[in-house]
Structure 1
């Protein structure tokens, strides 16, 4: 392998590396993402391969391997000069050797309906959720031959994050994280069976967005407030420690960066089991915005993440070109999902909002069975429906 250069990791990459360091070997695959991209009919396999190779030339994280170091947090990223794209089919449960190969593979498949598609397995350290969407957009631009601006590189971000100007920000973020987590009372948690379920609320994206606007909060923070209210109602504890996944892409210089940028950031919010949603939503909105300002920190300078302390939340935004026009609420449904990952947060909600709001809950705590999970997701759906109706 020809090496272009050796560089430190960004704080987002370090957070992912830190999480992998404490994961048993049989769970290393759990950071792999299984992605499918549609491709236009008539596109040849060779055209797809050329576009994927160009994608790896464009984005350094797709031609990067990692070298551990003896000192804490001293791991380095080695950017390869030439793309080494794996065009062989692979399983999402097959872990990548991050020190030996770029952490992704891609192949073309024609399903039974005949529509060709690209299947990818890509590790989270190479691309987080936002980066995957950037990759898909760039892939289709490369297929069409559209011109693209230069792509930012993780090494450039890593350099800025280690500058004297950035040091005070890292220190403040670490101190915020420590104070917030310590302020939340600890509730003893023991591990239980893994239960996963998804509530298809039937609430369209446009109506959910309009409800958030009516409450003068952002849509992710409306869902975060609903989450806090449901937790307060089901646990009887008013103050809730929530951890949200900070995308850390507010700076235009990193908005199109393909890498792992996300880090967990806490907020302590007051739920009110007997009160209304609007005042809680406003408090959550302020707390969440403050938390996001502290989303970048050195993971080796803070207390290791305790995935049993508090409840976790990830928001999956609508596509940039999503149609926000409200439509009618459709009947909802409930779906039990197979167990997938046994590491990470033991109480974890992921919210999709397009084209309709979907809430996926994963629980690995004793005392939570199927009936409890269904009751919790039903409570969240009812709260969100009420907010939609009240602001209609």
Structure 2
């Protein structure tokens, strides 16, 4: 492992105040992407949601040239002159573009710099992410200029995710370097945030958003509520260590699978990961969030804006072989990406309504973020991207051949997901970072999941692989669930666990939950019924359902019953469903509507 020499303390630090003037003062609604990120910024820790980048300064560049190029970018791009006015405690719905203003550049001068300047700059940029951006007043870039004896060496910055994403930072870096080289920049060819907001408000834009919402609602109503509904899966914020895979073996195998099948390497990798995750989770479908740049249209390709949103992919793995799954994955992924532009506030209304009716809690359990097509300097800079250990930044670039297969453990992050994967490169080596819930994946099992991915790619490199053979082909075993676990409405659940959770939510009232196939349905289509002994407590199905729904976060193995039956006293044999059937019913209903009594 490459190790960085001890960081040098800056010999002096001073701040340059840079004024700018130019462009039009404008005001208007936020874009869908901005609304999505603003919601996250108000909810999440800044170190998790802010992004960062490092821009090496060409040798011989003067400080005033660095600053002037930054000033030109600010005048050129409305996003960098944008704030989000809002009342205290409110959520911004509007953006304001200034025609003049100022920003700061903090200069950190050093007599000497560490051998790994990039790693040192990276650590400073990450540190700058830890402070929250004030949306109503802060300049969206927090800029540090590293100098050696007064000579600029590197720019390290944190950026507000409300106006930038990894693609936007790549555009800014490219244009900044062009300005330093003395090039003339043509007028921006992509939409500004305000122009995009206006387009999104047109009938065509609204239809796009509504189609995306319907896509999400269909999956949320029919797919598994959580990929990892199993013993040990608890909590909503999980401390997970980073495990990095770097493998030439895997890259060679990936290329051979792509050549054999005619599929894109990115689609092959996504298919392999879905097959493996669904196999490990014991699920019939793989539901994953795949963040996408939304920069496919020329009008958005070079937009300095926050465009990235989740594509929600549902891939039915009930097919005989890997090749058959690969054929399905292309269409499923394309459909997901087509539906990744949406009104985030409306989406959460849809999610809340659909899950309340279904009696589930949508879990963003699995996130798969393939940033391998982005420029290397920004490929790892998204909100939840890897936090490299000192001296590891850029390791793949310094060692282009890389190891045959290397697994490296890194620092821990607290994340609202159970399996997060970043793909940084697919050739000449496969380089990805994975964070897996340690309650579900011990260190050996987490390592086995990544080596299992390599084994699956190698097996599929020469021939089709039966999905029934995944355990022997990969070494990855399905989750072990006891006999009390069963599938209900497409999701794994445990009736005793549901009963215990509902009882706690109702202050200890006796509860019995049973699973039966509704009349006229297939035996595999179980439905839950909860019997509640309320005693003298005034209780309705609606109140019982509301109490259980409030208890669902962090309990992916719990589904709300489709029917609540309220009696006064529990039977003597409270563990037998037949005994509850002879109790006098005080009320019954779904709890989702007016109670039937």
Q: TM-score range by the shorter chain?
A: 0.7 to 0.9
Matched, 1:177 2:216: yes
Q: What is the root-mean-square deviation of aligned Cα atoms in Å?
A: 3.2
5 Å matches for 1:1-392? Answer: 4-23=25-44, 27-68=45-86, 75-82=93-100, 84-88=102-106, 91-110=128-147, 116-151=153-188, 152=190, 153-187=192-226, 188=229, 189-191=233-235, 192-202=238-248, 208=254, 211-271=257-317, 276-303=321-348, 308-318=363-373, 330-340=403-413, 342-353=414-425, 356-364=429-437, 366-388=439-461
Offset at 1:315? Answer: 0.9
Contact 2:366 2:420 in 1 (8 A): yes
Offset at 1:46? Answer: 1.6
Structure 2: gaps spanning 5 or more residues: 1-18, 108-126, 352-360, 377-399, 465-597
After superposition, give the CA deviation of every residue in 1:68-112 in whole Å (9 maximum; x if it has no partner). 369997621111212533212662212221211122122222589
After superposition, give the CA deviation of every residue in 1:260-284 in whole Å (9 maximum; x if it has no partner). 1011121211336x96432222211
Q: 1:116 to 1:260 in 2, by over 3 A?
A: same
Q: Distance in 1 between matches of 2:431 and 2:144?
A: 29
Offset at 1:164? Answer: 1.7
TM-score using structure 1 length: 0.86
Contact 2:239 2:412 in 1 (8 A): no
TM-score using structure 2 length: 0.58
Offset at 1:10? Answer: 1.2
Tell me the equivalent position of 2:356.
none
Moved more, 244-253 or 216-225: 216-225
Contact 2:143 2:156 in 1 (8 A): yes
Offset at 1:356? Answer: 2.7
Moved more, 155-164 or 233-242: 233-242
Q: 1:46 to 1:382 in 2, by over 3 A?
A: farther
**DSSP 3-state at the match of 2:54:** strand
After superposition, give the CA deviation of every residue in 1:38-64 in whole Å (9 maximum; x if it has no partner). 221111122111111111111222221
Structure 1: gaps spanning 5 or more residues: 322-326
Q: Distance in 2 between matches of 1:82 and 1:204?
A: 51
Contact 2:46 2:129 in 1 (8 A): no
Q: 1:143 to 1:224 in 2, by over 3 A?
A: same
Offset at 1:336? Answer: 1.2
Offset at 1:361? Answer: 1.0
Contact 1:204 1:357 in 2 (8 A): yes
Q: Distance in 1 between matches of 2:253 and 2:269?
A: 13
Offset at 1:333? Answer: 0.9
Higher CA-based Rg: 2
Q: 1:103 to 1:236 in 2, by over 3 A?
A: same
Give the number of the structure with larger relative contact order, counting CA–CA contacts within 8 Å between residues 6 or more apart. 1
Q: Distance in 1 between matches of 2:410 and 2:40?
A: 24
Q: 1:104 to 1:207 in 2, by over 3 A?
A: farther
